[in-house]
Structure 1
């Protein structure tokens, strides 16, 4: 007599799909949409999984959705590994017989994710409609170890952990202001004499990486009367013509409303790192997106370094 999926240790292995969807989306409705089922089905399957394991996996609230408990966090690690193993096995048997499919979550710094990756990944998604992509452009580090993303673009190379990583690209930052600001505020020839200018900056005690403290190094004693945790907010504030900001060239150069100020004196080069969990790297959808992002960065080196203002796109 054939056993059903619940006979082995009382766990229905299919319930783990529902568990992973809820853990990743944090709501039953979003998980239901991803799984193409009714949200009541998702809630029921989670209750059944909790009953079979005799534990509570989620703290549930109307305002906060589904938040993993400590037991849920433990199960997430196992369920994620099971999913990756099944996907890898499936790809080994199907080979190239099927089109690329599945889900990929990409984490990135806020500016790069919003201004560079978003248009690039839109083209990739169009070419691969069976791959669903989550892009997380956030002003903080994305944790690969906590499964917050499958691929991450970071300011700093990971020092430890089971990751595959490579230097993605160099990029340049310059000091930018509007033409109207520069007309009304004569600019000195030496950076040491910029004390009369207003600047935009990060909130120093809240930066997630010391790599972001560009202004303090480029213009010592610069006065910033407006600070924010967001580079996108600095970009929009700079466009108001009330202050200067150090911005990545890939953000500012395409905008005719901003002009680089003394670029021969203030030009900062930084790097992005492309990282992925080692156990995911060989999945076909991960590999395809990884290669696409690398190619997009390579052909856009002139944009990233402030030499041109037009973005290029790899062939599909």
Structure 2
């Protein structure tokens, strides 16, 4: 199929007019019309309904327009990758991670990344479902377990633990529990153990639920759990990375520290040379290094 004719067809379909397409392509209306007729003849079908007010795609024309639009997007992406440089990182980057990590850790730090690369466009997909990186459902993933898909470059970022946290105000009113059994008289805020979440979080929640607390608030993500804790609703099951950004939270029952949860960053092998991926990866690694130092200091203070 003639690429030049497809390019002209796409411009006409996008503009809905031979004249406007010709202006965009710097071609005469007659030249554009000849190319469209030639394309229709080669395909053996009509691509446009011709009306006095303009051109409307036929069903066959809509199918072809979907294909040319997809081609255009891929060409634009490829061109952007070619133009990428260390001095000017720009273009679209699709990042996926869990709702909790994305809302509570990553998003609050993105202002620094945009300050460094103001032309970067991030499409952040927050969900528990593991997207298929080799099939390019996303460019970069940050997950709470090591990815098992093939042809991925992966980097372990840190280990987190699930813990019980409350505000000083809540503990002053209801008292600080000193044993897990005392959680029966405190309000627990957690995700249901049956909802998608890290195993360590589900196990810790289940342990407290076995104490049969008289009052419970269940939320389907850690952002909601955090808001409940900050609003003095109860004692919440939360990841320990929150202590850096919310230093006033009190770690309740430190002996119930959960098993470690590994956090991995991964991206497809084919994106190894992508400047956008490298910029995002390096930024996250810098923030993680700073985070590790701060959370270590926080743990030391809590242990004293």
TM score, norm. by length of structure 2: 0.68
In 2, Cα distance between equivalents of 1:228 and 1:279: 38
Is residue 292 of structure 1 aligned with residue 290 of structure 2? no
Aligned CA RMSD, in angstroms, stands at 3.9
SS of the residue corresponding to residue 122 of structure 2 reads strand
CA distances 1:104-143 after superposition (whole Å, capped 9, x unpaired): 1222222322232223221111111222222334454444
Q: Indicate the larger mover: 234-243 or 254-263.
A: 254-263
Residue among 99, 103, 125 paired with 1:136: 125
In our comparison, the structure showing a higher alpha carbon Rg is: 2
Deviation, structure 1 residue 172: 3.2
Going from structure 1 to structure 2, the CA distance change for 1:238 and 1:293 (only over 3 Å counts) comes to same
Query: When the two structures are aligned, how many residues end up with a matched partner?
Result: 256
Deviation, structure 1 residue 302: 2.9
1:5 paired residue number: 3
Residue among 149, 154, 165 paired with 1:160: 149
In 1, Cα distance between equivalents of 2:58 and 2:235: 55
CA distances 1:192-246 after superposition (whole Å, capped 9, x unpaired): 4432222111133332553441423553614362111110000011123232112
CA distances 1:55-114 after superposition (whole Å, capped 9, x unpaired): 795xxxxxxxxxxxxxx8xx97x88876665555x25xx866x62221112222223222
C-alpha contact (below 8 Å) 2:92/2:120 kept by paired residues: yes
Residue among 179, 184, 193 paired with 2:168: 179
Give the structure with the larger helix fraction. Answer: 2
Going from structure 1 to structure 2, the CA distance change for 1:15 and 1:176 (only over 3 Å counts) comes to farther
1:276 paired residue number: 267
Which stretches in structure 2 are left out of the alignment for 5+ residues? 15-47, 49-55
In 1, Cα distance between equivalents of 2:222 and 2:130: 14
Q: What does residue range 105-254 of structure 1 map to in structure 2 within 5 Å?
A: 105-145=94-134, 147-216=136-205, 218-219=207-208, 221-222=210-211, 223=213, 225-254=216-245
C-alpha contact (below 8 Å) 1:249/1:306 kept by paired residues: no
In 1, Cα distance between equivalents of 2:138 and 2:263: 16
